[in-house]
Structure 1
Amino acid sequence: MALPQFPLENTFIVAAWLETCLYGIYFSLFWFSVYINSRWTRNGHRPSQVMFVSSILMFAVATAHVAMSCYRMIRGFVDFGNASGGPVSFLAVISHWTHIFNDVLFTIQILLGDAMAVYRCWILWNRDYKFVILPCCLLLVSLVSGVKVCTGVADASGFDTTLSTWITLSFSVAVVQNIITTTLMALRLWLTERKSTRFRMDSGAFLPVIRILVESAALYLFLEILLLAFSSLNYNVQYILLDAMTPVIGITFGLITVRIILRSQNQSSHGRVGTIGSMALRRIAMDITIPLEDGPDPKIEYDGGSGNTGG
């Protein structure tokens, strides 16, 4: 039994309301991340400039998207409220420049989020390009499909088979990209966790970071899967998820950044230094015994941080 279609007028209202609520969360999270980044910098650390600039771009895109959504709602329900067909006569026209503008912003936000996930993978895997070849290829496919969707919407008066195919491809690649990059980052941290036990370092040091990555990406991935499903079935609820995705991508990116910085600050206050990618490590103690009398060369012993003095 097929699900009944959600009325388009209700769909656009709920979409604008949900995007505004999520943008409010993102607004607070973004400025909090700016604050803790500034504190991090004042303490002598150097946050990634790439990540910082990307977060600003994401915030700018999300702000422009929610502003345009509000403008479209005003035009639709005020200027076209008494027109033939009602607000839908304006809001459902996908070839209107305001709709195209929002589609372009959505595509840019998707590409920024995926690109930053690929960048994190590259950093965590010690800048080894072979681990990000597939994600980079998927990023290129996302770019091509996103451009095809935006140009197809500009030339179309409605959804045709070709445009629907490109939309489905774009959403499918986004889901696969999210799964692959999150898995690669979690795998790298898990392997590092296993290696750290050989040097008698704290076990479980990277497990919380894995949880941060997985938990923060879970909402984004869940919405991507729902969006792909509703888009494939051509349900109007997809428009609600489309508007929600732009701030959600920024929220996902911001949550990972904030939680990792806060954890790194906590580790630094307990004597942890060094990094793997952007993850702080614990200081390893070295005990050195140098005899004062004449004789053989001084003996240097390393006890792996156990605190025992050799000799």
Structure 2
Amino acid sequence: MDLLFPSLVNSFVQAISYGLYIATFSHCLRWLLYDNESWKGRNKLNWPMLTISILVFLLGTAGLGTSFRMTLALHQSDDLLYNTFNTVNSALEYTTFQIVDAVLIYRCWVVYNYSWRVICLPGLFWIAGVILSSYDIYLYSVALNTYDPEAIDKLALLTLHIWNGFFACNIAVNIYATCTIIYRILRVMRISTANTSGWRLSQTCRIVAESGALYTFSTIVNLIATVLLAQDDRFNYFQSAADPLNFSMAGIAFNLILIRVGQQRAARNPVPDSAPSSDANISAIRFRHESTKATESQNPSTLHSKAEC
């Protein structure tokens, strides 16, 4: 099947979704770098989240560039160059997905008061994803040095099956981590009598649910497209549109959490962030163990802030 037109679809969709991502990224930087109600630089930056945000931006930008270069290589009938950039593009996508999933698992770990038991299952899925993605990149590299058309077709089909396994692990991590975080928040809401605390927790729950649903839904669509493509080449256009959309949605969902948390912080604490605040943020909420007395849990101070999301 001619790959030029599916590649054009891929580049077109990725360019549009990248534009949406850039809009969220620039807004995200505003809340990471500046005070709540002004353009004055923040005295204390959240370096981990800022670094990850920039890293995801660089990966997404490189992914867009390689997508365009793949299309150009097909137009020039340079199969070797196309396969080379396809390998690089796949590595960029895998890395982005793994970073975003790792941050989500970290949030789950912090919310459950650094309980390793809670993140064992998503951690195993994440490790499985690393193994599958590494093996897939290895197969791409093998295909670059393979000149037998039949062997290349077998490798291509095998990589599609590996994609399916990776996406299944990705979906499992997202559903598990998102649901466990929401469950923890809802449990605290039931024993919280403070109106401000209840409102804050409900907003936090909404942020996690919206972002998790956005990312998970795009991954499910991509998984369906990849499964269909393995059965019939006619679904190549569908997969070519679903894949770049999923790639960008990983970064968009990540940025949306940071944006919404920044807006929530400004709404409840309009003073400059140089002033100390005891409020908790989503990426570093630590709930007391369930054995904590109800009287302690009713106080918003039972949510300890370690670092902003």
TM range (shorter): 0.7 to 0.9
Residues 136 and 159 in structure 2, CA contact (< 8 A), matched pair in contact too:
yes
Distance 1:116 1:280 in 2: 14
Deviates most, 240-249 or 272-281:
272-281
Gaps spanning 5+ residues in structure 2: where? 144-151, 230-234, 287-297, 300-309
Q: CA deviation at 1:280?
A: 8.5
Residues 264 and 279 in structure 1, CA contact (< 8 A), matched pair in contact too:
no
Gaps spanning 5+ residues in structure 1: where? 81-88, 282-303, 306-311
Q: Give the aligned partner of residue 114 of structure 2.
A: 127
Residues 7 and 70 in structure 2, CA contact (< 8 A), matched pair in contact too:
no
Residues 25 and 255 in structure 2, CA contact (< 8 A), matched pair in contact too:
yes
Distance 2:206 2:195 in 1: 22
Deviates most, 35-44 or 20-29:
35-44
Residues 111 and 285 in structure 2, CA contact (< 8 A), matched pair in contact too:
no
Q: Give the aligned partner of residue 94 of structure 2.
A: 107
Q: CA deviation at 1:59?
A: 0.6
Residue identity in the other structure for 2:111:
L
Q: CA deviation at 1:265?
A: 1.4
Q: Kindly indicate whether residue 158 of structure 2 is the aligned counterpart of residue 166 of structure 1.
A: no
Residues 126 and 277 in structure 1, CA contact (< 8 A), matched pair in contact too:
no
Distance 1:274 1:233, change over 3 A: same
Q: Give the aligned partner of residue 305 of structure 2.
A: none
- Provide, for residues 123-163 of structure 1, a one-character-per-residue CA deviation record: whole Å limited to 9, x for no partner: 22222222111111111001000011111122232344543
Q: Kindly indicate whether residue 234 of structure 2 is the aligned counterpart of residue 233 of structure 1.
A: no
Does 1 or 2 have the higher relative contact order (CA < 8 Å, sep 6+)? 2
Q: Kindly indicate whether residue 11 of structure 2 is the aligned counterpart of residue 16 of structure 1.
A: yes
Distance 1:40 1:122 in 2: 28
Distance 1:261 1:147 in 2: 35
Distance 1:99 1:18 in 2: 16
Pair member with larger Rg: 1
Q: Kindly indicate whether residue 62 of structure 2 is the aligned counterpart of residue 64 of structure 1.
A: yes
Q: Give the aligned partner of residue 117 of structure 1.
A: 104
Residues 167 and 223 in structure 2, CA contact (< 8 A), matched pair in contact too:
yes
Distance 2:96 2:105 in 1: 14
Residues 9 and 241 in structure 2, CA contact (< 8 A), matched pair in contact too:
yes
Residues 17 and 244 in structure 2, CA contact (< 8 A), matched pair in contact too:
no
Q: CA deviation at 1:219?
A: 2.2
Distance 2:108 2:285 in 1: 16
Larger helix percent: 2
Q: Give the aligned partner of residue 26 of structure 1.
A: 21
Distance 1:229 1:116 in 2: 25
Residue identity in the other structure for 1:56:
I
Deviates most, 161-170 or 186-195:
161-170
The DSSP-based 3-state class of the residue aligned with 1:142 is helix
Distance 1:202 1:66 in 2: 42
The TM-score normalised by the length of structure 2 is: 0.77
Q: Kindly indicate whether residue 172 of structure 2 is the aligned counterpart of residue 180 of structure 1.
A: no
Q: Give the aligned partner of residue 263 of structure 1.
A: 264
Residues 31 and 258 in structure 2, CA contact (< 8 A), matched pair in contact too:
no
Residues 231 and 238 in structure 1, CA contact (< 8 A), matched pair in contact too:
yes
The TM-score normalised by the length of structure 1 is: 0.76
Q: Give the aligned partner of residue 210 of structure 2.
A: 215
Distance 1:164 1:262, change over 3 A: same
Q: CA deviation at 1:33?
A: 1.3
Q: Kindly indicate whether residue 127 of structure 2 is the aligned counterpart of residue 140 of structure 1.
A: yes
Distance 2:7 2:27 in 1: 30
Residue identity in the other structure for 2:205:
I
Identity percentage over the alignment? 20
Distance 1:76 1:134, change over 3 A: same
Residues 260 and 279 in structure 1, CA contact (< 8 A), matched pair in contact too:
no
The DSSP-based 3-state class of the residue aligned with 1:158 is helix
Residue identity in the other structure for 1:231:
T
Deviates most, 108-117 or 199-208:
199-208
Residue identity in the other structure for 1:275:
A
Match of 1:275 among 265, 271, 280: 280
The DSSP-based 3-state class of the residue aligned with 2:34 is helix
RMSD: 3.0
Give the alignment of 1:179-198 within 5 angstroms. Answer: 179-197=175-193
- Provide, for residues 162-192 of structure 1, a one-character-per-residue CA deviation record: whole Å limited to 9, x for no partner: 4333222111111111101111111122122
Distance 1:159 1:105 in 2: 23
Q: CA deviation at 1:205?
A: 2.8
